[in-house]
Amino acid sequence: MQTLTPPTSNALNLNHVLRTRRLVPTRISVKCAYAFEPASYGVGSSRADWQSSCAILASKVVSQEQSSSADKNGGTADHVAAVNGHKAAVSDFQLVPIGNLAEANNKPLPPKPLTISDFSPAPMHGSKLRVAYQGVPGAYSEAAAGKAYPNCEAIPCDQFEVAFQAVELWIADRAVLPVENSLGGSIHRNYDLLLRHRLHIVGEVQLPVHHCLLALPGVRKDFLTRVISHPQALSQCEHTLTKLGLNVAREAVDDTAGAAEFVATNNLRDTAAIASARAAELYGLNVMADGIQDDPSNVTRFVMLAREPIIPRTDRPFKTSIVFAHDKGTSVLFKVLSAFAFRNISLTKIESRPHRNRPIRLVDDANVGTAKHFEYLFYVDFEASMAEVRAQNALAEVQEFTSFLRVLGSYPMDMTPWSPSSPPH
């Protein structure tokens, strides 16, 4: 903020104003020394518009000074003020934003500078939210995207890496990717990609996994010689396949729905796929067996990723995900975790991954020891919002013991009810 005060002469030195305030601001707030009323005026995008604004403001200050002097001397305020070399009565002179002046003079406004949002319309402007997921239509990730963002435009990606890049390159607004399964454990690939890319976790969603055995119409179990699906899906249905009497070979593919698509596209009458019931509908397959997962309480946790983080709040349960490392390996892990324990912050997950840039740590600096240890990165989820003071203090203490600390996101927890007995919709 800059206060414009009139000099001893009857005109404000415009060069002095230009030297004092360059063309950087887009809006200025001015308080006249004699009116004591703040006013804000729009500033144009060109140097000429900004100079005109300064001249108008200078004339206004001079006019009020002269008006004050005239009132003290018993005179009137009907004097004439100079504005850009033109004279106008003060009673008719009203300061208005530059944009309104342009409209009043029927002059076109200068073109608005492009912003990064112009390359991807925001969903609130009328466009449908675009959500990237790994797999093909019918995948569980597509169902998770629909649960996280109803009525979204789901964009299939052939790899996890492509889903990350789709958000970074503005092809998609969000990405919904799995990070752990209750039976198969963590999806390590996505933990590594979370660190490699600069996306932020903005939410989570948990989806029950309901596997089905799919084959072409008319195919009987006796005809089957192999079953294909994602490696985790095969492992999650191992015992059930044996109980069904299927002495078939297991073959891993990239994803469950992709297995169903492969069977349908190639008209494989000796091959079955393990996928969802929706995949059977999409690719015209028959459900030979429903709910073949070994454990009915099979659920996958997905995270929603965005280019920008959300603002943490305290009006609902929040979860925060971080990743950290230390030069001394695991020796300080207890001290780091105690920062949360002392503040009664519950940890919901801790995952370790080998440090790619420095995988091996020697026992001593002289490089003469025989024992070597892996260097690790630690991923931790805890139940607290970054808007809470206790979470901020805990991370401040964690930072003292770590050589690297990054907040992956602070986001609302998935509190929706979950029933393992019913298939996902």
Q: Which residues are catalytic?
A: 300, 302
**Short-list 322, 320, 346, 308, CA closest to 405:** 322
User: Tokens 């004591």 belong to which residue?
Assistant: 36
Distance CA 338, CA 398 (A): 9
Token digits of residue 72: 């003290």
* Helix ranges restricted to H, 33-75: 47-72
- SS3 at position 378: strand
Region of 366 on the Ramachandran plot (φ > 0 left; ψ -120 to 50 alpha; else beta): alpha
Token digits of residue 280: 């059977």
Distance CA 142, CA 196 (A): 23
Largest Cα span, the chain = 112
Token digits of residue 302: 């997905």
Distance CA 200, CA 303 (A): 10
Exposed/middle/buried for residue 287 (C-beta within 10 Å: 0-12, 13-18, 19+): middle
Exposed/middle/buried for residue 331 (C-beta within 10 Å: 0-12, 13-18, 19+): exposed
Distance CA 194, CA 176 (A): 12
The answer to whether 1 touches 29, Cβ cutoff 8 Å, is yes
Secondary structure of 135-180 in HEC code, one letter for each residue = CCCCCHHHHHHHHHCCCCEEEEECCHHHHHHHHHCCCCCEEEEEEE
Provide the 8-state DSSP code for 243.
H
Distance CA 302, CA 206 (A): 6
Provide the 8-state DSSP code for 218.
T
Q: What are phi and psi of 65, to 5 degrees?
A: -65, -45
